[in-house]
Chain A
């Protein structure tokens, strides 16, 4: 039975679940979009705040499904934070599109909930539940603007592929369960402890699990959907997929691997290395001459997940820290980049084409600077969080002696430089005749979005210049 502490510790999850219900109720009250937006913002904030109240209880196990330690709370924090930021951006985006997106917030809460459950799950069952709550919510979100071809196309693609990969995941889990007799990570780990070589059945299962999770992470070779879905989905949803969903899946995969101490096994290591290397290279090359900014970011996210996989490799405390730090930097940066796209998008134009950024610096310098900062951070240039993140990853890789991998990371990130620079160059080149500043349709939300963006940018720079604080925080994460 659940105890009082259980409830307390699960309060963020419960709050998120409740929020979705509350929003649903509010919708039934026929409140305006703005009201609902504000309410959901507050609810997000409350959920986020609740994270701080459970600090003292950590680590805490809700047997047998969930584990709440500092790492998972941190990841939850990232997820809820992303959800909150996305909800802020959503208003402008959907108001521009003139759709009434009230149910959107319900789905957003559900997705956030799913992601959070993923982040704290320690059992195949909760993993599956969390994953599916997240995914099913995303189906709807991606296809949310159902009148538009791209949305429907993206939704369909995501649906079929996600279900397809989910079945792999499930089959893999079933096989592993068959082998080990447990669905909890810890029991799997204990049954594996005796083994020097992985049993073939387990290996097959693990491989299939990787297919499922790899799909969600969009790592090569399961990456093909990424660009289409990123492009087709409404931009705030893309931002959510790119940040929260990735963070959650990554966290659970990482936890699983650490718990079963998967890096003992050369084979698993080899597979992860292959995936990482392929992701880094292919992701970066794919965006090389891409002209659609959303697709660029999609492909670049493939590469970034590749980097993160490199951070996995050592499988020690350093890995956790590196992953946490890089993930933070990545989430913040990605949100910023997509935030700019949202702010720039108009009714029929999602500000996708790189040409729509030409001369942006001379027209809206604040937006251009923010986007530049985020792109530089993605490229890993100093003064930004991305640099310190990359440093962390390289450090953990080099410390464990993964020389060649580190070298490949470096080389591929050089390729990556090119397309980030291309966007930046486009922003700084040329001068469109300055458009007469039309009155913003939603001045309040515009300002709010801008403030959020500025805040994110400050975070990017802050973590880049003075990362000691975040590092200190991250350094407390241990193996549970």
Chain B
């Protein structure tokens, strides 16, 4: 099986190459088939490999395939090696599976688009990069994928490049994530000098021996890696790019900004958990960042009117949950939530895309409404996705994954009541904004004329995803409720188990509280947005409420802050110095010699008497020197 690994990223790469080089000369159908087909092939390979992996677990616990040595300098020898273990298997599976569905969906979605070759090429390249990211056996190769997905994200956010805003959104995403990446690169330097290698297994192996838990170097390293993760995963303080990234086509949002790329940070931290474990401080920071992000993003989601922005903030918030889980040491829970989130968030985005498409590119929820009847398939699938997002108890997958996180945020070593309470508050908010979104979009009266209805190519992926959003949770049930641990069996060889604090008990009570919170959230939204909408409307007259609204709508004014603190000064300085102040120095020299020329040239007056005087002065000068000295 080892030697099949290269096929997994190989197919998307081939697809990308074909579409880039020959895309213009192919028929629309061929382009779509190439784009979607390559991913499907890749997904099939994943299924085969994954099946084998699960049925006949390899002795080493992983499949490894070395393709070639990237370079070799002074015993530092990063290789192009693919490495598959339980953790990467989960990611590879989610990526290829969801990507395949999204690609199929896109064939229909992009049917009107002239430049679909570019779209599919970028999407394929993205999948390739993401697969490299999760399959990389060393951090340098991971970094390649890491930056590669950044590039693809840039390409796809700016896919409709004719509108400048899209381009700027793409640029913002790239640059902000680059800030994190740069910190991460510095982290890599430290790792190279500490361990002499960037091989993940080797580092994980020797880190506990070389570093003491809580040592400065471990913390530094962990923080730098974390910075990379924060950028990619849109967590505080590098989160501002994600809402703008919704400028891209909806499948892109589904694939990149919900299901896969933004979870790269989660992957990185899970992958390098050994280092993070050595730095409890960093873990605490991760937990706090996760908690803060989930609240901040959740509150922002409540007031958004653009359906995709709601989903974007919700993504941030959900990744906040994953970070929280990572922070408290619930590694497996984080990854599990990643998987479930990928299903329902992809579903939500695709469905939202279908709605937007059907309503002539209308993003504003308040101009939708009443779609329950007109778009039944979309409605039901969207409802399932929403339920899963809101973690509707028992029947949805989202419930099971979020429940774990909630529990661990209380009970694990790193957990604390405060974190738990934040998470709980988050759950409430999540339920609230999800309900709000559902109500505004599907109930009420239709406000926009319906255009094209989604075809089968679009609805079938939705249905599949909906099924997964419901049932995927059952592979991992709490031990007091079914106790299914299929999922953690996959990851347990890679990720350490979660330590439970000695003093806690009564998991059941916490689950009940969580359930009640969710229901409370749903009910609150139901009251406010359906039963008694006047409350909201009245609130809008209050100045402070309006201010709060604006504040939340803008995502807590982070954009404004960064704009004032970083962007404007730099741009101002850059424009101030456009002509290069150093050049002025050289121009000054030129000017001086020019002056000297004019002054000297003045002495060449042409007057003979003056020349005689000059000669005389020269003579006197020489004689004087001689006499004085």
Is A14's CB within 8 Å of the partner chain B? Answer: no
Is B606's CB within 8 Å of the partner chain A? Answer: yes
C-alpha gap A354/B559 in the complex (Å): 60
Chain B window 579-614, contacts with chain A (Cβ cutoff 8 Å), 1 for yes, 0 for no: 000000000000001101110110110101011101
Cβ contacts under 8 Å, B608 to chain A: 156-157, 160-161
A394 to chain B, nearest CB (A): 22
C-alpha gap A165/B616 in the complex (Å): 9
C-alpha gap A215/B611 in the complex (Å): 11
Is A77's CB within 8 Å of the partner chain B? Answer: no
Which of B492-500, B544-552, B620-628 faces chain A?
Answer: B620-628
* A168 x B597 contact (CB < 8 A): no
Chain A window 280-320, contacts with chain B (Cβ cutoff 8 Å), 1 for yes, 0 for no: 00100110111000000000000000000000000000000
* B594 x A221 contact (CB < 8 A): no
Cβ contacts under 8 Å, B623 to chain A: 204, 207-208
From known contacts A282-B600, A286-B604, A289-B594, infer whether A211 and B619 are also in contact, taking CB-CB under 8 Å.
yes
C-alpha gap A98/B617 in the complex (Å): 41
A187 to chain B, nearest CB (A): 22
B302 to chain A, nearest CB (A): 69
Which of A250-258, A266-274, A345-353, A435-443 faces chain B?
Answer: A266-274
From known contacts A211-B622, A267-B626, A271-B622, infer whether A222 and B612 are also in contact, taking CB-CB under 8 Å.
no
From known contacts A282-B600, A285-B596, infer whether A207 and B612 are also in contact, taking CB-CB under 8 Å.
no
* A204 x B615 contact (CB < 8 A): no
Is A83's CB within 8 Å of the partner chain B? Answer: no
Highest count of chain A CB atoms <10 Å: which of B593, B597, B621, B627: B597
* A224 x B593 contact (CB < 8 A): no
Cβ contacts under 8 Å, B610 to chain A: 224
Chain B interface size, under 10 / 10 to 19 / 20 to 34 / 35 or more: 20 to 34
C-alpha gap A138/B231 in the complex (Å): 84
C-alpha gap A148/B14 in the complex (Å): 85
Closest-by-CB residue of A relative to B627 is: A200
Pick from A156, A160, A200: contact of B612, CB under 8 Å: A160
Is A203's CB within 8 Å of the partner chain B? Answer: yes
Q: Which positions 79-112 of chain B face chain A at CB distance < 8 Å?
A: none
* B629 x A211 contact (CB < 8 A): no
Cβ contacts under 8 Å, B614 to chain A: 221-222, 224
* B626 x A165 contact (CB < 8 A): no
Closest-by-CB residue of A relative to B623 is: A207
Chain A window 144-168, contacts with chain B (Cβ cutoff 8 Å), 1 for yes, 0 for no: 0000000000001100110011001
Pick from B597, B618, B619, B627: contact of A285, CB under 8 Å: B597
Cβ contacts under 8 Å, B601 to chain A: 286, 289-290
* B622 x A224 contact (CB < 8 A): no
Closest-by-CB residue of B relative to A211 is: B619
Closest-by-CB residue of B relative to A283 is: B600
From known contacts A282-B600, A288-B593, infer whether A221 and B626 are also in contact, taking CB-CB under 8 Å.
no
* A161 x B611 contact (CB < 8 A): yes
* A221 x B600 contact (CB < 8 A): no
B586 to chain A, nearest CB (A): 12
Looking at chain A's contact residues, the main secondary structure is: helix
A202 to chain B, nearest CB (A): 10
Closest-by-CB residue of A relative to B611 is: A224
* A221 x B617 contact (CB < 8 A): yes
Closest-by-CB residue of A relative to B599 is: A285
Is A327's CB within 8 Å of the partner chain B? Answer: no
Chain A window 173-212, contacts with chain B (Cβ cutoff 8 Å), 1 for yes, 0 for no: 0000000000000000000000000001001101110110
Closest-by-CB residue of B relative to A210 is: B622
Is A228's CB within 8 Å of the partner chain B? Answer: yes
Is A415's CB within 8 Å of the partner chain B? Answer: yes
Cβ contacts under 8 Å, B622 to chain A: 207, 210-211, 271
From known contacts A267-B629, A285-B597, infer whether A225 and B617 are also in contact, taking CB-CB under 8 Å.
no
* B625 x A286 contact (CB < 8 A): no
Is A115's CB within 8 Å of the partner chain B? Answer: no
From known contacts A160-B612, A286-B597, A289-B594, infer whether A214 and B618 are also in contact, taking CB-CB under 8 Å.
yes
* B626 x A289 contact (CB < 8 A): no
C-alpha gap A203/B625 in the complex (Å): 10
C-alpha gap A285/B604 in the complex (Å): 12
* B611 x A225 contact (CB < 8 A): yes
Cβ contacts under 8 Å, A427 to chain B: none
C-alpha gap A208/B611 in the complex (Å): 17
Is A142's CB within 8 Å of the partner chain B? Answer: no
Closest-by-CB residue of A relative to B626 is: A203
From known contacts A285-B597, A285-B600, A286-B597, infer whether A164 and B615 are also in contact, taking CB-CB under 8 Å.
yes
C-alpha gap A221/B617 in the complex (Å): 8
Q: Which positions 236-281 of chain B face chain A at CB distance < 8 Å?
A: none
Pick from B594, B597, B612, B621: contact of A164, CB under 8 Å: B612
* A221 x B615 contact (CB < 8 A): yes
* B625 x A270 contact (CB < 8 A): yes
Is A108's CB within 8 Å of the partner chain B? Answer: no
B617 to chain A, nearest CB (A): 7
Closest-by-CB residue of B relative to A275 is: B622
From known contacts A160-B612, A207-B619, A286-B604, infer whether A415 and B593 are also in contact, taking CB-CB under 8 Å.
yes
C-alpha gap A227/B611 in the complex (Å): 12
Pick from B600, B611, B617: contact of A286, CB under 8 Å: B600
* A221 x B593 contact (CB < 8 A): no
* B626 x A207 contact (CB < 8 A): yes
From known contacts A211-B619, A285-B593, infer whether A224 and B626 are also in contact, taking CB-CB under 8 Å.
no
* B629 x A221 contact (CB < 8 A): no
Cβ contacts under 8 Å, B600 to chain A: 282, 285-286
* B594 x A288 contact (CB < 8 A): yes
* A271 x B619 contact (CB < 8 A): no
Cβ contacts under 8 Å, B604 to chain A: 224, 227-228, 286
Cβ contacts under 8 Å, A200 to chain B: 626-627
* B625 x A168 contact (CB < 8 A): no
Cβ contacts under 8 Å, A288 to chain B: 593-594, 596-597
C-alpha gap A133/B629 in the complex (Å): 36
* A157 x B597 contact (CB < 8 A): no
Cβ contacts under 8 Å, A225 to chain B: 611
From known contacts A207-B623, A270-B625, infer whether A224 and B603 are also in contact, taking CB-CB under 8 Å.
yes
Cβ contacts under 8 Å, A271 to chain B: 622, 625-626
Highest count of chain A CB atoms <10 Å: which of B593, B596, B608, B614: B608
C-alpha gap A269/B601 in the complex (Å): 28
* A165 x B615 contact (CB < 8 A): yes
Return 23 A-B CB contacts under 8 Å, by A number.
A156-B608, A160-B612, A161-B608, A207-B626, A210-B622, A211-B615, A214-B618, A221-B614, A221-B615, A222-B615, A224-B604, A224-B611, A225-B611, A227-B604, A267-B625, A270-B629, A271-B622, A282-B600, A285-B596, A286-B601, A286-B604, A289-B598, A289-B601
Listed from nearest, the 5 A-B pairs whose CB atoms lie closest are: A221-B618, A288-B597, A224-B611, A211-B619, A207-B622
